[in-house]
Structure 1
Amino acid sequence: MTAPLWTSDELVKATRGTLHGPAFEITDLVIDSRKVTPGCLFVALPGERVDGHDYVGAALDAGAAAALVSRIPNRLDGNASLLAVEDVLGGLTDIAVASRARSSATVLAVTGSVGKTGTKDSLAAALAVFGSVHASAGNLNNHIGAPLSLSRLPKDADYAVLELGMNHLGEISALTRLVRPDLAIITNVEETHIGHFRDLEQIAEAKSEIFEGLEKDRGLAVLNRDNANFDFCADRAEAAGARIVTFGRSEDADVRLIGADCGPDGSNIVVRVDGRQLVYRIDGIGPHWAFNSVGVLACIQALGLDLDKAAKAIRDVTAKAGRGRQENVAFGDLGLLLIDESYNASPASVAAALEVLSMTKPKGLGRRVAVLGDMLELGERSEILHLNLLAKICGSADLVFTVGPMMEQVGRNLPPVLFGGHGATANDVAAQVTAQLSDGDVVLVKGSLGMAMAPIVGAIRDLAESNRISPPSAAHGG
């Protein structure tokens, strides 16, 4: 029988809360009542639009073993198990603190302007060769997601890989002091969220807060040697007493990328480390996946683990839905290839996505189609950062649709032959996109989270359903 993640006695002690109802054991923690699994703890977080306390009953009915609450909801079964605390988020954070304190796992923290989630997933795959691994689910990396991920850490895990994100100064500082990593990696420092910062160096300052959680003179810092803010980040790591391991194309990198042959189905990569060459392959598509894999191997090198085993283990890690996953959509005779990058966007990630589009060959007479939504949180540099993409767009796409006011300006500056249409929202442009797609096209959908690009992805997927219904004339031979 699998040991419980937490018992009610342990949770009462961790949170200094009060138990109402029977004692319990849990196997997981969830914050969304729609994702309740049997035996979990439902964390009833209050929010701006909804209050988790309103869903406690539904969570318990769905199989939750108990709920973490700050008040007792009305109309509950008298036998319901509730752990009452003064503040639910504070209680969740207390559980995370207790989780870290009881764990002997080697903890890795991942941050960076782009590439965090892919790096986290690849690290988890690599470390699984050497022991049991716990990793953040999805991109749970903020003031709620990070303590939730840490609270889920099994007491007997050998490794934990946790993603830390931010869009303001001070946010990573709080998270890293909670996580207390043994190793911290900054994948890169780019102009993501630049609207909330003075300049790029201040973003580097925010990312470098991750070193504040390292144990003084005991931690490991893995840094991108090619990044313009390397020296700044290295200074902060050295101030924390961390041993620095670097990766990149630079001759000074400890794990040096010698070559990457990137194609539409993955990359063959050559790195040099400790005077020898290592050759490996990954299925992740695009130069950014190849480069990030070198950062992963730098973490393995820093931990003193076997690089050859790790390189083999990360081969089949690929992009997830919304983050570059490619899927075939039945349409016409040849079909469409959808590149779903709808989750989020920044100047660096849009450029990387366009690079993938440019290397992906359409079928037959198909075209490369880009559907691009605004990149948000860029402040006064928003217009120039959008327009800076023009050359990349023109060199990657045969047909372009735009969503939002900033991308509308980009569309106006495209050659007319490339411009397919514009909409203020994704819903406004979805029908234009699907109406102009042709058999064999490759379609990239990319935009910031706030632009809600998912309806365009859904409309393209729906073409597969409509494609199954032949018009009457075709059914009778025309």
Structure 2
Amino acid sequence: MSVQGSAMRVLRNWPIARRDALPAALWSATEIAAATGGTASHDFQVSDVEMDSRDVKRGDLFIALKGDAMDGHKFLPQAFANGAVAAIVDRPVEYPHVLVKDTTAALHALAHAARERSPAVRIGVTGSVGKTGIKEAIFLSLDRASRGAALRSIRSYNNHVGVPLTLARMPARAKFGVFEMGMNHAGEIAPLAEHVRPHVALITTIAPAHIENLGSMEAIAAEKASIFSGLVDGGMAVIPADSPYCEQMCDIAKTYGAKIITFGAAKNADVRLLDAIPSANGGSLVTADLGDTRVCYSVAEPGEHWIANSLGVMAAVKAAGGDLGAAGLALAEMGGLKGRGARHQIAVPGGKALLIDESYNANPASMRATLKALGQTPANRRVAVLGSMKELGDFAAKFHAQLTEPLSEAKVDFAVLVGEEMRSLAAELGKASAASLGITHGFAHCDNPAEAISALNEFGITHSDAILVKGSNSVGLGALVSHFTGIGGPLAQSKT
């Protein structure tokens, strides 16, 4: 038999997997109508799902959601002008559509239909700090190993709308889905977990984010651990072993019948740190014990918190049945995200300065971690632009004032403090004398980002300086980052 004939015989006998029989298009009109109980006006297929008409692209399904202040039906012309194929609506319209009683309920129904039709392993990620970065690292690991068959929450689509929207976007052929889940108040995580029904649920860490609304660290831990309530039978709970609330979270996981994997430096951790040394690129070379194997890998992101993050990534990838080698490569190649660690070289007198963009979110734990990373960053001078940490309630003054120690330990030369809550830190620095804390050029307190820009200009950033920009998103320090980098604007808010 010729080589060509042999090749044709192999192709004819190629094994057909269940996944091969699944539809290539994301949704058809018939599938949407069946999932939502609606009525389709036309026969169509869509390639993606969108709720914001400004983000619609050619081939999308636009869901006309109704909120307290906005009605998506008003933006149907813009959505179709941008390339929408069809819409889900609650009233007859002239465009191709599926007519339903309630568009929000239809989104939820479509999300659940996507979940049920796909064989994908679903991973849920929550925690006070590091959710988005860890979510991205897990996705990159699984996407690499599955050759593009993984999905994740884009941006920080982690709330009651973003989570079901991400599910609705999951192709029938997906092999993995990674879903970020955030909250502002008690009782918000469990419904998100019920949407996703994850096979693996990971908690990054517990920190006093939103303590104003939850009242105590124990309550925060309990709320985050409610993600385990949505686990499928036999699901895996991935929990930080170094957290003071590890035992509490493990107990909660056990009540839902979860299998538990812990990660961290603790001696009893299932995924345990053995060694971590600084690497030339500012990251780390990590060796970890996973029980049945040891792995050594590089982490591109700087800071000790990313060493801990990487252990959580390895634990989640292992629990999901992913490729640990691909996870190591993903961690070695991963760059910082906009507002969450992205590093920019900006032109200044004499050459270039490093600007570290952490403008998207801040709480006491992440402030300390990023200031510590700044202190480990080689630089001529270190500058910290710190915005207020929000939703700390009665604890706000205490937590802001306590930043004197990490500022001193990071050998910050000049601090720019932005926002009303930062007055307590400014008062503390004034009392102690900033110079005595090693802040040789003192500090400036500003009411807004525009004043902070002026303070930095007056200080005079020069070649080889390193500038950390860190604060809660509502402070608006993304505008300061954009001013100095010329890249984009501040991100939209999400829950943590």
TM over 0.5: yes
Q: Which amino acid aligns with 2:39?
A: T
1:46 aligns with 2:58: no
Displacement after TM superposition at 1:224 (Å): 0.7
The answer (yes or no) to whether the contact 2:194–2:229 under 8 Å persists in 1 is yes
1:428 aligns with 2:443: no
Q: How does 1:246-395 map to 2 (within 5 A)?
A: 246-262=262-278, 265-274=282-291, 276-362=293-379, 366-395=380-409
Q: Which amino acid aligns with 1:457?
A: V
Residue segments in structure 2 that go unaligned for 5+ positions in a row:
1-22, 488-496
Structure 1 Cα separation of the partners of residues 59 and 354 of structure 2: 40
The aligned length equals 452
The worse-fitting range, judged by mean Cα deviation, of 170-179 and 128-137 is: 128-137
Match in the other structure for 1:473: none
CA gap of 1:249–1:416, structure 2 versus 1, over 3 A, is closer
Structure 1 Cα separation of the partners of residues 426 and 91 of structure 2: 52
Structure with more relative contact order (C-alpha pairs < 8 Å, separation 6 or more): 2
Match of 2:460 among 437, 448, 464: 437
CA gap of 1:234–1:379, structure 2 versus 1, over 3 A, is same
Displacement after TM superposition at 1:95 (Å): 0.7
Match of 1:185 among 202, 206, 209: 202
Q: How does 1:66-77 map to 2 (within 5 A)?
A: 66-72=86-92
What percent of counterpart residues are identical?
37
Match in the other structure for 2:84: 64
1:236 aligns with 2:252: yes
Structure 1 Cα separation of the partners of residues 401 and 92 of structure 2: 53
Match in the other structure for 1:227: 243
Structure 2 Cα separation of the partners of residues 272 and 104 of structure 1: 30
TM-score by length of 2: 0.87
The answer (yes or no) to whether the contact 2:24–2:173 under 8 Å persists in 1 is no
Displacement after TM superposition at 1:69 (Å): 2.2
CA-based RMSD = 1.9
Q: Which amino acid aligns with 1:258?
A: L
The answer (yes or no) to whether the contact 1:434–1:459 under 8 Å persists in 2 is no
Q: Which runs of 4+ in 1 moved over 6 A?
A: none
The answer (yes or no) to whether the contact 2:141–2:323 under 8 Å persists in 1 is no
Q: 1:64-100 CA deviation, whole Å, 9 max, x = no partner?
A: 1112223356xxxx3x112232222221111101111
Match in the other structure for 1:461: 485
The answer (yes or no) to whether the contact 1:224–1:246 under 8 Å persists in 2 is yes
The answer (yes or no) to whether the contact 1:430–1:455 under 8 Å persists in 2 is no
Displacement after TM superposition at 1:104 (Å): 0.8
Displacement after TM superposition at 1:123 (Å): 0.9
Displacement after TM superposition at 1:50 (Å): 3.6
Structure 1 Cα separation of the partners of residues 25 and 47 of structure 2: 5
Structure 2 Cα separation of the partners of residues 270 and 33 of structure 1: 46
DSSP 3-state at the match of 1:315: helix
Q: 1:223-280 CA deviation, whole Å, 9 max, x = no partner?
A: 1111011111101111111111111111101110122224562111111222653221
Q: Which amino acid aligns with 2:137?
A: S
Match in the other structure for 2:413: 398
Structure 2 Cα separation of the partners of residues 456 and 181 of structure 1: 38
DSSP 3-state at the match of 1:37: coil
Displacement after TM superposition at 1:129 (Å): 4.1
Q: Which amino acid aligns with 2:406?
A: K
The answer (yes or no) to whether the contact 1:7–1:25 under 8 Å persists in 2 is yes
DSSP 3-state at the match of 2:145: coil
Displacement after TM superposition at 1:416 (Å): 4.3
Q: 1:135-162 CA deviation, whole Å, 9 max, x = no partner?
A: 1112111101100111110101111111
DSSP 3-state at the match of 1:444: strand
The answer (yes or no) to whether the contact 1:374–1:451 under 8 Å persists in 2 is yes
Displacement after TM superposition at 1:448 (Å): 0.6
Q: Which amino acid aligns with 1:183?
A: V
Q: Which amino acid aligns with 1:346?
A: N
